[in-house]
Structure 1
Amino acid sequence: MNLKNALFTFICFIFVSELSAQETTTTTVSANSTDISMNLDLEAVSSAFGESKDLEDFEKKLNDPEARISNLDLNEDGNVDYLRVVEVSENQTHVVTIQSVLAKDEFQDVATIDIEKSEKNTSVLVTGDEYIYGSNYYISPFYNTIPPIYGWFWGPYYNPWMSPWYWGFYPPYFRPWRPFPPHIYHNNVHVHINNHNRYNRDHVKRNHRAKHLQKSVRHNDLQKKSPNNSFKNRNSGMSNKHDLNPNNNTRYNRSNSRQIDRSSSTRPISRPSNTRSFNRPSYSRPMSRPAGGFGGFRR
């Protein structure tokens, strides 16, 4: 009888130990998949930029409730933030800044796009804000065909763009939606990445002119409120978003495998036809147009 009791006790001990190990493993995996940097794919942003006719069109693409390129809810109000676009320029350099609208007169830089024109070509560098993405998180897109927005930057009708929209006043097409879990967002946002382009992640640096230009429009209100919640503090031992996914190198090597001459190609930019929809109900709040209408503030 004592032997049976001892055997039963031993079996129960093994069973409880296995359950505890499973719980520990599940908790660890979940904790590593919820960083805020996972909620805006900068390759998708690069693709949208290359397909835009001007910066007003680019801002519309970023906030399209059907495409749902963004999944950012930095102010944690339960709705994805509106992303406004502001721009400054000097000679042949343009700096486009994407900012989350957090509250009245409160904004947080999310990413910047530097566009520089030389005698030979035009270069684009997309940089994730260090507070959100970590240090030196760069994407250098090489477009399969010349983006139409280049003609706007250096065309006769160019004027610097400043988004006319702000907290509580958004364009009629914008309907706030609930953010998705990051893994669901990533599974769906890939259809908005143009795989005919290349997205290099070399160890490049922003030039000093671009950094200087951005200072005039920079906003970091979220960083000021929560300075201890930077990427570095959220992810100890990691330098930037690249380190969050050990499988990243496989995907980026695939996109970098072809050398494309973007200055001479006539192949049109296309989007995969089998786009998937996000089956979630729309969540809306009162919105109206600012008095200035659609055009944006021009300087």
Structure 2
Amino acid sequence: MKKTITLLLVILGITFSSAQENDNPEFTGENFSLEGALDLFKKANSLENFEELLNQESNNVNNLDLNNDGNIDYINVDDIKENDTHVIVLSTFLSKTEKQDIATVGIEKTGNEEATLQIEGDQDLYAENTIAEPYDVSEKMNQGKGGPSLSEIISTRIIVNVWFWPSVRYIYAPRYVAWKSPHRFGFYPRWWKPWRPFRYATFYTRAAPHRVYYHRTPICRLVIVRKVYAPRRNHSTIVIHKNNHKTVVLKSNNRSEKYQKSKRKPNVKVVKVSKNRRR
């Protein structure tokens, strides 16, 4: 009987330990719901309103603590506008001098009253080409040759025209001026109340409703967006890569080395720099 109890405790211990390890996502960016961000963008009536929605705990979109201070990071929203293309950059300040991009909501006007939208996670935080987009389903009846009994309904996903979303109409208004968040590290709006991050398993469950109407796709439909955004991307100066329980610190003065190693898909975590690094 004692041997049975001992064996049971060992099994439970292994299971609990395994559950703790699996509670961490493979990529740090998964603590920010790309699908949830799109859901809030659809509901927002302006980019200022979008930023406010992103930073509310009840919306279950943000679970990031990139500077390891024990509190959720404040998400800034900035718009890069070039002709009929908009790149809505979601980022956070890690310190007074460090800023890390999290994701970009790209929008391209494709017709008189047509626009296409995708959100892409930053390469330091997500796997390569982590893209999400809204989708709808088109259904049609396929009439078989053998009569009605052999008919079937074929469902296909279609690209959503986001032109009539309030936030999209807002940024394409004639007098619109590209929005830039007025908030910085240590200077946040009075209404903002940071909270402690949830365990990843808890956050994943809380964010589940956002994944109903938005899905991941490996296809980038917005080529112009990438060209507009690339030279303006923000990334932190120190990124810690945790791989096989080893910690390797890579400094940004060798950017090619950092990007080459990041393609190995380690779990990426950005940490706050405590020392003054001015030279």
From 208, 216, 224, the equivalent of 1:201 is: 216
Task: Give the Cα–Cα distance (whole angstroms) in 2 for the partners of residues 33 and 54 of structure 1.
Answer: 35
For residues 221 and 92 of structure 2, the distance between their equivalents in structure 1, rounded to whole angstroms, comes to: 21
Q: Deviations over 1:40-81 (max 9, x none)?
A: 111111000011112111111111244353111111101100
Give the alignment of 1:205-220 within 5 angstroms.
205=220, 207-220=222-235
Q: Percent identity?
A: 30
Please state if 1:58 is matched with 2:50. yes
1:144 Cα offset (Å): 8.9
Correspondences of 1:185-196 after superposition (within 5 Å): 185-190=203-208, 193=210
* Unmatched 5+ stretches in structure 1: 1-10, 236-299
* Alignment partners' CA distance in 2, 1:233 and 1:69: 22
Corresponding residue of 2:77: 85
Hey, which of these two has a bigger chunk of strand by percent? 2
CA distance in structure 2 between the partners assigned to 1:53 and 1:85 by the alignment: 14
- Which residue of the partner structure matches residue 18 of structure 2? 28
CA distance in 1, matches of 2:232, 2:49: 20
Match for 2:123 among 130, 154, 158?
130
Segments of 4+ moved more than 6 angstroms: none
- Give 1:95 shift: 0.6
Instruction: Say which SS state the counterpart of residue 113 (structure 1) adopts.
Output: strand
For residues 83-136 of structure 1, what are the alpha-carbon distances to aligned partners after superposition, in whole Å with 9 as ceiling and x for unaligned? 001121212111111002211121111111100111162111011112212111
Determine if contact 1:47/1:194 at 8 Å carries over to the other structure.
no
With the length of structure 2 as denominator, give the TM-score of the two structures. Answer: 0.71
Is 1:150 the counterpart of 2:168? The answer is yes
Partner amino acid for 1:163? S
Structure 2, unaligned runs of 5 or more: 136-159, 243-261, 269-279
RMSD: 2.5
Aligned pair count reads 220
CA distance in 2, matches of 1:44, 1:129: 16
* Superposed CA offset, 1:213-255 (max 9, x none): 213431110xx412524581229xxxxxxxxxxxxxxxxxxxx
Cα separation, 1, equivalents of 2:195 and 2:110: 41
**CA separation of 1:144 and 1:183: change in aligned 2, threshold 3 A:** farther
Distance 1:38 1:73, change over 3 A: same
